[in-house]
Amino acid sequence: MGQSLEFYFAPKADEQVRGLWQRVEDAGVSSLATHGHRQHRPHVTFAYAGSFPKAVREDLRGELKLLSIPNVYLSTLSVFANRTNALVLSALVDQELLAVHMAVHDVLAGRVPQPAANSMPGAWTPHCTLAKGLSDSELQTAMMAVHPVDGISAKIAEVCVWDSTSRTADSLWRG
């Protein structure tokens, strides 16, 4: 288990993603709404590590105050076909989004234990998870339930460190 830096959506985009979660549920497949601890909020994860120490969190708070956090445009229905089969809504990658991601990782560099390689600059695929841990047939059913999907322009309302062990969120920034 570890901690993640999550960018949570403002109410309109939050409701739109939850609507997609409900469509997956209505098709008989578990979405992120009912997966695991059932406390998921629609978000894009910018970083994942073993932990984010207090000093790093304070530095992130300062950096986030200086940044212009762009909207995240979620537009492409995608699949991470691996041992955890996930259905995701991928974000349009632009220079503003990459700049914020890089600024976050500049603060984290060499200061967090066990950083996840797939959240590092150059390897990151920004996305909002709709469902995960699916069998191949569940993945197909979930895809059919939400396709076609309208793009979502997600304003970021809050940035938190989510602790998957204690199931708590430490707010670092609010928009």
CATH number (domain holding residue 16): 3.90.1140.10
Total domains in the chain come to 1
The Cβ of residue 23 has, within 10 Å, a number of other Cβ atoms equal to 18
Q: Using N-to-C axis directions, what is the helix angle for 54-66 and 95-108, rounded to 10°? A: 150
Residue 60 is part of which domain span?
3-174
pTM: 0.95
Could you list the pLDDT tens digit for every one of the 175 residues in the chain?
799 999 999 999 999 999 999 999 999 999 999 876 667 999 999 999 999 999 999 999 999 999 999 999 999 999 998 888 999 999 999 999 999 999 999 999 999 999 999 999 999 999 999 999 999 999 999 999 999 999 999 999 999 999 999 999 999 999 9
